[in-house]
Amino acid sequence: QGCVQKYIVKNYFYYYLFKFSAALGEEIFYITFLPFTYWNIDHSVSRRMIIIWSIVMYIGQVSKDILKWPRPLSPPVVKLEMRTDAEYGMPSTHAMAATAISFSFLIATVNQYKYPFELGLVAAFVFSTLVCLSRLYTGMHTVLDVIGGALISAVLLVLLYPAWDMIDHSLLTSPFCPLLSIVVPLVLCYNYPKLDYYSPTRGDTTTILGAGAGATVGFWLNNQYVAPAYTGENLQLGFPLITSKIVVVVLARFFVGIFVVLLTRQLMKSVVLGMLRYRYKFPIGDLEARRRLEVEVPYKFITYSSVGFSATVIVPLLHKLLGLM
């Protein structure tokens, strides 16, 4: 582990296609696409996707560290990524996330917007397939890992779908929602399965649950105070023509929102890590200290819950102030 294997790229089309596809199952995609749906498409769609994403990813990450199935051996496999190589392989959480996000988006929008179901189904299938194939191409998973991840995600979607409306209603109206949204994920993170060596799975899980917790508190707060929804210039999927005004508004919302989200992430990382360094007395470059349970969990959770809250509360208020609602 940690040793970069040399390789020669013979087909740059496949190389860049699957490197890009792999990124569709990582933080860069989550932190852009999920807020985009909230700012420009539909609040209810975004809420359902975030709920499904959080549940599916937690189960997938925990399953890895319970099953402890190794990743493909290298050699003979050439691995194009190194960060996630310390994790176990089964199931592929890239496959789980891609399946959950693409098909939950399809299910949540097909009855609200006028577009052919067949087209949406093909798009969801292509999206999830590209991400799954990227895990094979980059050498990070076996075929069984990928199939297992996609199937687990599909089963969870089927099981959770009948309760979507009930869960969504409870998250918006229950007076206990803010407390439970913070406490339950924190308990799950602090009681994450222990390994004999450090793996980024606990940190990644805390990141996901933290973002989901912050967003959920934001959803509840917006509903309690009847925050204005994005209704005037939303991206309507059924329209054959999208005017230049809508495109400008959508892009403006996106870039303003992403700037605030990234600024929040960077600011909170510095503040929280600084407070934890002061509390536990470790130097700024001590990577081992940052991997300790008492440091990693609050660091990741507070940072990304702030990101989720910022995306659902602060950014909409700024959009309203700038006349982008």
Q: Which residue has the tokens 């360094």?
A: 277
How does DSSP classify residue 82? -
Evaluate whether 293 touches 190 at the Cβ level (below 8 Å).
yes
Evaluate whether 168 touches 52 at the Cβ level (below 8 Å).
no
pLDDT score for 54: 92
User: How do the domains of the chain map onto residue ranges?
Assistant: 12-230+238-322
- In single-letter form, the type of residue at position 107 comes to I
pLDDT score for 1: 46
Residue partners of 133: CB distance under 8 A and separation at least 6: 18, 21
Question: Taking Cα atoms as reference points, which of 115, 105, 108 lies closest to residue 240?
Answer: 115
Task: Output the tens digit of pLDDT for each of the chain's 325 residues.
Answer: 445 567 787 888 888 888 888 888 888 888 888 899 888 888 888 888 999 999 999 999 999 888 888 888 777 777 777 666 667 788 998 899 999 999 999 988 887 777 788 888 999 999 999 999 988 888 888 899 999 999 999 999 999 888 888 888 888 888 999 999 999 999 999 999 887 777 888 889 999 999 999 999 999 998 888 665 554 444 444 444 456 777 888 888 999 999 999 999 999 999 999 899 888 888 877 788 888 888 889 999 999 999 999 999 999 999 888 888 7
Question: Taking Cα atoms as reference points, which of 20, 40, 2 lies closest to residue 258?
Answer: 40
319 is catalytic: no
- In single-letter form, the type of residue at position 256 comes to V
Evaluate whether 50 touches 215 at the Cβ level (below 8 Å).
yes
Which three-class secondary structure state does DSSP give residue 40?
Answer: helix
Kind and range of the H or E element at 165? helix 164-173
Q: Could you count the other beta carbons within 10 Å of the beta carbon of residue 247?
A: 12
Residue 223 CA to residue 214 CA, distance in Å, equals 14
pLDDT score for 243: 66
Q: Which residue has the tokens 């009847």?
A: 226
Evaluate whether 256 touches 322 at the Cβ level (below 8 Å).
yes
pLDDT score for 312: 92
Evaluate whether 305 touches 182 at the Cβ level (below 8 Å).
yes
Which three-class secondary structure state does DSSP give residue 219?
Answer: helix
Catalytic residue among 43, 141, 169, 319: 141
141 is catalytic: yes
Evaluate whether 156 touches 100 at the Cβ level (below 8 Å).
yes
